[in-house]
Amino acid sequence: MIMTKKLTIILASIAVAATAWAAAPILINGAGATFPYPIYSKWFDVYASINPDVRFNYQSIGSGGGIKQVTAKTVDFGASDGPMTDQQLADAPGRLIHIPTVMGAVVVTYNVPGVEKGLKLNPDIVADIFLGAITKWNDPRISSANPGVQIPDLPLVVVHRSDGSGTTYIFVDYLSSVSGAWKLKVGKGTSVNWPVGLGGKGNEGVAGLVKQTPGALGYVELAYAEKNGLAYATIQNKSGKFIEPTLESTSKAADGVDIPSDFRVSLVNSANAEAYPIAGFTWLLIYRKMDDPVKGKAIVDFIKWAVHDGQKYAKDLLYAPLPEGVVGMIDKKLEDIQIA
């Protein structure tokens, strides 16, 4: 009788444990870009209420870190605002696919006492500031581009990213497209050898340094500038128009652009007359052949939701939704994902 009771208790304990195990949510680990962190955080929270069986743990460590971790397979997906190079793709243990999620603007943000948002900067000025050729805020070129604006005699302190960064990639891709000197001396990548400046980790770090340093100028994703109450510049585009970074002007950057099947495309310095010139896609990085079938299906299902229903959350967080044509291309790409 005692043995029967003990056996009953043991079996009941096993059943309870099995039920608890079965009910445990699937944990998906990701890492990478800080640029899309606000929208990704929103998506993960909303998706948890739609599909409580799946949870996401995303580390906002920068695009360079995301590429390294997804290549090492220490996370289930990576995230980057700079496309992986051919060599990086070749070095990966499997075929990695870029999936665009939203579009965003990289803004030139500054902290100049008495100068509000909307300071006008042309491409040559921006490039020469980051090359170290312009060192004072009242430089004649800045003053002439902003007639009527009282710009103080203040040292100009450049702030850039210290970590591998897709935000950096978009920004230096732009500088390389508008400045021969920058292209020759520095070039583009998620990390570059900066001629001048202070380094901050993540969009958060750059925004923080600009905010606390009078005379500072840096670059961050638009949402970070707004969140921190930072002023940001109106940039002259390829057509000669000074364009404020908005959802509309960011979206215009993709108009007329031929999107390749692998989605690795630059949107900077658009020929569209209404486009903000420093914009780009941000991508999730996933393997075409998923090792874990449960996680693989969960990731694909989430991406399908994000590029369709999830796009409605983009505008409130200052990201531009994906063009419809790109969403259709993503749907087809996801059909090729192999879930073991």
| Residue 157 C-beta-side C-alpha neighbours within 13 Å | 16
Q: At what angle do helices 324-334 and 293-307 cross, to 10 degrees?
A: 170
Q: What is the pLDDT of residues 214-242, one digit of tens each?
A: 999 999 999 999 999 999 999 999 999 99
187 CB-side CA count, 13 A: 5
> pLDDT tens-digit profile of 173-214?
999 999 999 999 999 999 999 999 999 999 999 999 999 999
Q: How far is CA 104 from CA 254, 267, 279, 297, in A?
A: 11, 10, 6, 27
pLDDT interval class at 23 (50, 70, 90): low
pLDDT of residue 336: 94
- What structural domains and CATH numbers belong to the chain? 26-104+280-339 (3.40.190.10), 105-279 (3.40.190.10)
Residue 198 has a CB neighbour count (10 Å cut-off) of 17
d(CA 78, CA 197): 28
Interval 250-285: pLDDT, tens: 999 999 899 999 999 999 999 999 999 999 999 999
Name residue 176's amino acid: S
pLDDT exceeds cutoff 90 at 61: yes
**Which residue type sits at 289?**
K
Q: Which of 212, 213, 204 is nearest to 155 (CA)?
A: 213
For the segment 81-86, the average pLDDT, to the nearest whole number, is: 95
Is the CA virtual torsion 317, 38, 57, 296 positive or negative?
Answer: positive
Under the banding of pLDDT at 50, 70 and 90, the label for residue 12 is very low
Could you count the other beta carbons within 10 Å of the beta carbon of residue 254? 23
Q: Is the pLDDT of residue 16 over 80?
A: no
Supply 198's token pair: 């202070």
Which token pair is 98?
A: 């870029």
Model pLDDT, residue 178: 98
Cα torsion at 294, 307, 260, 282 (round to 10°)?
-90
Write the DSSP string, 62-107.
-HHHHHHHHHHTSSSEEEESSPPPHHHHHHSSS-EEEEEEEEEEEE
Question: Chain-wide mean pLDDT for the chain?
Answer: 93
Quote the percentage of the chain above a pLDDT of 90. Answer: 92
97: left (phi over 0), alpha (psi -120 to 50) or beta: beta
pTM for this predicted structure? 0.89
The tally of CA atoms less than 13 A away on the side-chain side of residue 68 is 11
SS3 335: coil
